[in-house]
């Protein structure tokens, strides 16, 4: 069953078009990663899905509804996004910040209720934040903060979680921790995930499907084993690479050797 249907999307900034003919269906429970060189249009696509950027041409449907006919609030009830950079008041507590994720589900006159508290508890549990929930945001490390923003996105109770380079600026253990959390959410709750990743090995390990963008166009769409070939890495990244396969889970492991 598809949750998001993207047809012939054309996107850009003012007169400049940066993404053309982007078409794909996202199935319920899939983890889809969008990869591609710098400036290929990956973040632009995520921004358009949550209406942070106007669509030039094409359609995005969530279920039967076109996002063009949905309010930002309605879109936020279905899709939540974890951005690369997030800012918040520094003296706010983790728990209070996570409440912001509930706002798309509230009317302006409604205040926090018992249901919100339960969903905040659920988001805290799933983002491993129990011990940190009463701390102030400015007392947390970068990796801990990223988990808080993940919890804000979860508190939105989205059908689809969008992650824009979620591991940037995190050290290797926080990177793994975050992607393992995403995998757990996907496995335990059947949450659909669309993420932009730079690290090809992370994309290979954590994705069901990979979409490869080059200069705003799809040049590959398939499973990690289908996508990661020497030819594709040469064509898209101008890199000569060796490819091995994990002994246990058989996903590709990419070792870049040299720039061509």
Binding-site ranges for ligand ATP (CB under 6 A): 13, 18, 36, 38-44
Shortest distance, position 49 Cβ to ligand ATP, whole Å? 12
- In the bound state with ligand ATP, the residue whose beta carbon lies nearer, of 34 and 94, is 34
- In the bound state with ligand ATP, the residue whose beta carbon lies nearer, of 119 and 196, is 196
Shortest distance, position 124 Cβ to ligand ATP, whole Å? 30
Question: Backbone phi, then psi, for 148, in 5-degree steps?
Answer: -65, -45
CB 23 within 8 A of CB 8: yes
Question: Backbone phi, then psi, for 177, in 5-degree steps?
Answer: -60, -45
Tokens found for residue 69: 């006919």
Shortest distance, position 96 Cβ to ligand ATP, whole Å? 30
d(CA 88, CA 80): 17
Shortest distance, position 165 Cβ to ligand ATP, whole Å? 7
- Judged on CB neighbours under 10 Å (0-12, 13-18, 19+), 128 is middle
| Greatest C-alpha distance within the chain | 60
Shortest distance, position 35 Cβ to ligand ATP, whole Å? 9
**What single-letter DSSP state applies at residue 129?**
-
- In the bound state with ligand ATP, the residue whose beta carbon lies nearer, of 48 and 126, is 48
Q: Return the C-alpha torsion angle 226, 228, 232, 234, nearest 10.
A: -160
- In the bound state with ligand ATP, the residue whose beta carbon lies nearer, of 16 and 130, is 16
- In the bound state with ligand ATP, the residue whose beta carbon lies nearer, of 193 and 211, is 211
- In the bound state with ligand ATP, the residue whose beta carbon lies nearer, of 48 and 186, is 48
Concatenated DSSP letters for 144-188?
A: HHHHHHHHHHHHT--SEEEEESTTTT--HHHHHHHHHHHHHHHHH
> What radius of gyration, in Å, describes the C-alpha atoms of the chain?
19
Shortest distance, position 39 Cβ to ligand ATP, whole Å? 4
């Amino acid at each position: 069953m598809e949750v998001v249907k993207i047809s012939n999307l054309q996107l850009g900034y003012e007169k400049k078009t940066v993404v053309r003919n982007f078409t794909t269906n996202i199935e319920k429970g899939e983890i889809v990663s969008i990869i591609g060189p710098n400036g290929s249009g990956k973040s632009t696509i995520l921004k358009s899905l949550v209406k942070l950027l106007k669509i030039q041409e094409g359609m995005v449907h969530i279920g039967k509804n076109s996002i063009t006919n949905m309010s930002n609030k309605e879109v936020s009830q279905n899709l939540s996004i974890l951005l690369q950079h997030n800012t918040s008041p520094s003296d706010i507590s983790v728990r209070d910040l996570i409440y912001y994720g509930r706002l798309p589900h509230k009317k302006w006159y409604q205040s926090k209720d018992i249901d919100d508290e339960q969903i905040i508890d659920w988001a805290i549990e799933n983002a491993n934040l129990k011990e940190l929930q009463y701390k102030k945001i400015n007392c947390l490390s970068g990796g801990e903060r990223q988990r808080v923003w993940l919890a804000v996105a979860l508190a939105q109770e989205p059908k689809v979680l969008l992650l824009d380079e979620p591991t940037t600026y995190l050290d290797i253990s926080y990177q793994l921790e975050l992607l393992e959390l995403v995998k757990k959410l996907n496995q335990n709750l059947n949450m659909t995930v669309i993420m932009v990743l730079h690290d090809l090995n992370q994309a290979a390990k954590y994705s069901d499907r990979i979409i490869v963008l080059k200069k705003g166009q799809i040049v590959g769409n398939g499973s990690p084993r289908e996508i990661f070939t020497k030819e594709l890495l040469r064509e898209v990244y101008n890199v000569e690479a060796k490819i091995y396969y994990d002994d246990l889970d058989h996903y590709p492991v990419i070792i870049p050797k040299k720039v061509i």
